[in-house]
Amino acid sequence: MNEFAPPNDDICFALKHSASIEGLAELPEFEHLDPDMVRDLMSEAARFMTDVISPTNRLGDEQGAVLRDGNVVMPEGYRAAYAALIEAGWNRVSAPEEHGGAALPFAIGTVMLEMFGASNMG
């Protein structure tokens, strides 16, 4: 059972009204931002965290991490889910492009971290 459902409408509202994403889009470094792109990005991030990361949450509680022969063995699915997160780039959306990021505002990167932690704190 998947228990994580991010409040995407609330997230987009907060980005618009609290983080002033539209105001940030007026700055030269964020001129590629627009409300539709931000909403689509948040929807896709929410889907990813719900479908890929959240299912590992219960496994982490049930199996836990184990120290075996000096190595930490993670619960089933953790490595694959984390690798998928890295591959999708959700961990670096606010990093500069020259470092593999999307150069989006830090507020959007913070939302990604929050979704990641909420979907599976472990």
Q: What is the pLDDT of residues 61-81, one digit of tens each?
A: 999 999 999 999 999 999 999
The 10 Å Cβ neighbour count of residue 11 is 20
Two tokens, residue 8: 């995407």
In angstroms, the CA 76 to CA 59 distance is 7
Helix 8-17 × helix 35-48 angle, to 10°: 140
State residue 27 phi and psi, 5-degree precision: -80, 145
Burial (Cβ within 10 Å: 0-12, 13-18, ≥19) of residue 60 = middle
Per-residue pLDDT band for 1 (boundaries 50, 70, 90) equals low
- pTM higher than the cut 0.85: yes
